Chains A and B, each alone.
Chain A
């Protein structure tokens, strides 16, 4: 518990709570059930993708293809549904696409030793390209009712994607804290060479991490598309930046080796609340961009200060 108090996640938590309080006071529409459902569902897709992306970032890597994978996964699910495949097949198809892109990323990065930035920048383009190839530029319809329910429905007044996000949050937290795979992820991010010389199967872990990031992005993309109700070519466009921002705000250092998944969800929540709040207050969408960008810089600045204070204290 003491450790939690000093961690960067606490900072984000306070920020989220403060923001929530502020919005409650400044807008009567904020604390309504419908608005809260809107906000949480809204950031859940980013958060789910972020759960996977955070593991990549912890290994000192980066995955710029997240947004494209989200879009492609949604399209593939819609594509399969339109051709009569059931919900399960559609979802599996979406996840498989994410896994494939992740496998390509992971393989090129670990075996061919290419820079993650470049590789995922490439797959960003390739995946988005496939979206247009598959759809010919037109939106795709045909989701089953179950699929639509997953994206748009509620359980106990809480949106389904939010439940999924919470379950996955607990799962990935457990994986990172209590499995050898999780400890290997942190060690590779902390010092890849030292990890390798300690017998950690670095290449294997790295490939797996990118595959998992792809699968999580695909899941987020599927839910995003299901909420919309149809497969849109622009779904997920640019989302990789939000995913990375959620991780960084949540304390996952871009240098690697640090951070946890709770921070990712809080980071996504902070951005979601900001967007919602600014919209409720009638701020134009253009200014929203500026605010979000400034918050990201501010969050990282605060984190840097915290890190340097901790270093000088010890």
Chain B
């Protein structure tokens, strides 16, 4: 099923690409056309080969077999510099900017304009010209930052714009973006998607990968789907549906994206009064057993901050937390764990996992004192039993429980994080962006798991910036903005527009003003 785009000549083509890492084939006979003025969404599960394909096109990896054709001529892209000179640029998932340099310095790194004359020959940079040019490019991408701002002062979304500005400044013709919206809020993602459309209207080829299908459908002209290293096919966006695309990605029909079960919602599990601390003010809500309460809002609204206060990760200045009818005093995560509250943090690698330790150690950490030891000595058999149980139940793919957790895929890592809290049999589990950076297959498994949790009577707090996920799973939605709860919506009344309205209260960012003016 192959539809190449209308009448346009492809600017960049790859044919017959093969690539293996340590004799494991990651790309098999892959072909793709990238056309000017077109937005192409490259889709596939984690491990399908999307990043690898992009990196081959940009010179970071070398293909084992196959050809790359640029403007009709075969080219040998054997280093990133070659790709850059041709006009092929990549925006990586992890931003590759220099935090301690200014925006302009970042934009022109490696291509700084030099002053005329002797000093220029010796390498003196013409900072004024550089800053001026930088302002020009920043305007083009709609950035509110100024050329002399230090990069680390900017938000992630702004930094990403600087990275895009950098590629534009190098006269890129082909823009490859790897999961560009993964660390952005819904609003920021919207802005980025708009920028992508603008850039393609200006004649650029834009290729981006994402796990958020609705984004792909919003902005892409064409989809290309990879599965297990093979190109399943390409199709025009107007000729297909999400379920069709998912089926291509996964290879089997996916019946329902958000399995919402009928769960009996029981008595009060958690009541929070007047919780305040840092930017969070006066948070008040309740959670019943078996209920999923979703926290929606823009990035920086205070949802993660609230979760951290609840869990004792940050110090609360005021507030009362009542768990199962009893007031609990939570001063640190040690107290939270003892009370039966668990937190799956946003940042998996930095906050939830100890990458260099084995799966065994990671999985048993919270439950170690309460359940898996006697008087400080570890109950080896108990540990083995529990580990095996959760590896089976969550379908975690790994070589052995002694494997270091950093060698697992993102989805399996997240399952390890989830099982470490499940082992504790918590009463309340807080999930902060639980499916970020996880492929469709593993996402479905995690949704299923969440369903099982609530069936077992656990109360779940779900923080998510993915609207379909948030609205699909939650029984009630708490919308936060500026550190306060603006509204608590019932499932029936929660629509993306309503949530966005409350999420934007008091949010006088330049972005919002620009949006309204546009």
Given known contacts A179-B376, A180-B378, A195 and B365 CB-to-CB distance under 8 angstroms: yes
8 Å CB interface, A181-212 against B: 181, 183-184, 186-187, 190-191, 193-201
Whether A197 and B376, one on each chain, are in contact in the complex, defined by CB atoms closer than 8 angstroms, is no
Whether A191 and B355, one on each chain, are in contact in the complex, defined by CB atoms closer than 8 angstroms, is yes
Tell yes or no: B327 within 8 A of A by CB.
Answer: no
Instruction: Enumerate chain A residues within 8 angstroms of B42, measured Cβ to Cβ.
Output: none
Interface string of B285-317 (1 = CB under 8 A from A): 000000000000000000000000001010000
Cα distance, A195 to B345, chains bound together (Å): 12
Cα distance, A249 to B361, chains bound together (Å): 25
Tell yes or no: A290 within 8 A of B by CB.
Answer: no
Cα distance, A183 to B355, chains bound together (Å): 14
Instruction: Enumerate chain A residues within 8 angstroms of B334, measured Cβ to Cβ.
Output: 199-201
The segment out of B167-175, B248-256, B346-354 that lies at the interface is B346-354
Instruction: Enumerate chain A residues within 8 angstroms of B355, measured Cβ to Cβ.
Output: 190-191
Give the contact-size bracket for chain B.
Answer: 20 to 34
Cα distance, A307 to B407, chains bound together (Å): 14
Given known contacts A190-B357, A193-B351, A198 and B333 CB-to-CB distance under 8 angstroms: yes
Instruction: Enumerate chain B residues within 8 angstroms of A194, measured Cβ to Cβ.
Output: 350-354
Given known contacts A180-B373, A183-B365, A195 and B354 CB-to-CB distance under 8 angstroms: yes
Instruction: Enumerate chain A residues within 8 angstroms of B368, measured Cβ to Cβ.
Output: 180, 183-184
Whether B378 and A183, one on each chain, are in contact in the complex, defined by CB atoms closer than 8 angstroms, is yes
Tell yes or no: B40 within 8 A of A by CB.
Answer: no
Given known contacts A183-B378, A194-B352, A199 and B361 CB-to-CB distance under 8 angstroms: no
Given known contacts A183-B365, A191-B350, A196-B333, A258 and B377 CB-to-CB distance under 8 angstroms: no
Using a Cβ cutoff of 8 Å, how many contacts connect chains A and B? 82
| Chain A: minimal CB distance from B348 (Å) | 9
Whether A193 and B350, one on each chain, are in contact in the complex, defined by CB atoms closer than 8 angstroms, is yes
Instruction: Enumerate chain A residues within 8 angstroms of B366, measured Cβ to Cβ.
Output: 198-199
Tell yes or no: A3 within 8 A of B by CB.
Answer: yes
Instruction: Enumerate chain A residues within 8 angstroms of B313, measured Cβ to Cβ.
Output: 196-197
Tell yes or no: A83 within 8 A of B by CB.
Answer: no
Cα distance, A201 to B361, chains bound together (Å): 16
Cα distance, A14 to B336, chains bound together (Å): 47
Instruction: Enumerate chain B residues within 8 angstroms of A200, measured Cβ to Cβ.
Output: 333-334, 365
Tell yes or no: A250 within 8 A of B by CB.
Answer: no
Residue of B nearest to A256 (CB): B356
Whether A179 and B377, one on each chain, are in contact in the complex, defined by CB atoms closer than 8 angstroms, is yes
Whether A199 and B378, one on each chain, are in contact in the complex, defined by CB atoms closer than 8 angstroms, is no
Tell yes or no: B50 within 8 A of A by CB.
Answer: no
Interface residues of B (CB under 8 A from A): 22, 311, 313, 332-334, 336-338, 343, 345, 350-357, 361, 364-366, 368-369, 373, 376-378, 380, 402, 404, 407, 420
Known: A201-B332, A258-B356. 4 other contacts (CB 8 A): A186-B357, A190-B357, A193-B351, A197-B343
Closest 3 CB pairs of A and B: A199-B337, A190-B354, A198-B365
